[in-house]
A = this chain, B = another copy of it.
Amino acid sequence: MGDKVISLAVIRRLPRYYRYLGELLENDVVRISSKELSERMHVTASQIRQDLNNFGGFGQQGYGYNVEYLYTEIGKILGLDQQYNMIIVGAGNLGQALANYGDFERRGFVLSGIFDVNPRLEGVAIRGIPVRMMDELEEFIQNNPVHIAALTIPKTKALQVAQDLAGLGVKAIWNFASTDLHLPEGVVSQNVHLAESLMQLSYSLRNLEREEGKL
């Protein structure tokens, strides 16, 4: 792979390729043509060839792609060949839902701590991990390197907590609060904005009704 630069648009599509390739692997599929993959993924074969050409000449005429090789290489690009320690800040329903996803762990995202401000949650164990109070956060991070913090807290608290985490050396914030975190250089974030996702759905629904002439 070396230092080849891959466009952001391709990068954004990689997790989806990774998921499909993972499913093929689970079904013991050894190789697949761009045509077959395109039919499964509902994108054009030419898009797939263009995207995957970034990973060298693994799509050979008459052979197709080596599923395991491609899966592994895409995994490396996505940083999935290493383990990350993750904490969850906010042990409400959403935080608990994230904590209970065993799937993340399988991909190398290891949950190491859960934090909240609610004293009634103190010590409650989620998948064996006790909820700790926020005033233990600093000491915890000093003793247990944290790569990623998921923020499942109200939007009014999110920026301050994210800044505090950045100050403690956490470099990646997975933000579920309905606000954009403008963080210092050297800290990355990824948003999951549920309300915005739901608005896109209502737009599509409205559009469908428009097309069907119901409005």
Contacts and interface: CB of A to CB of B under 8 A. Distances in A.
Interface of A: 11-12, 14-16, 18-19, 41-42, 77-80, 84, 92-94, 96-98, 100-101, 103-104, 107-109, 147-148, 171-172, 174, 178, 180, 182, 186, 188-190, 192-208, 212
B78 A206 contact: yes
A14 B193 CA distance: 13
A188 B171 contact: no
Contact of A199 (B15, B97, B101, B197): B15
Could you say which of A41, A94, A171, A195 has the most chain B C-beta atoms within 10 Å of its C-beta?
Answer: A195
Contacts of A205: 79, 84, 147-148, 171-172, 188
Given A19-B196, A94-B94, A203 B104 contact: no
Nearest to A23: B179
A-side interface mostly: helix
A15 B206 contact: no
Contacts of A197: 174, 190, 192
Contacts of A207: 79, 188
A194 to B, nearest CB: 7
B15 A79 contact: no
Contacts of A198: 104, 107, 109, 148, 174, 190
A134 to B, nearest CB: 20
Given A79-B202, A205-B188, A180 B104 contact: no
Could you say which of A14, A15, A109 has the most chain B C-beta atoms within 10 Å of its C-beta?
Answer: A15
A94 B95 CA distance: 9
A204 B208 CA distance: 35
Contact of A19 (B100, B188, B195, B201): B195
A174 B199 CA distance: 10
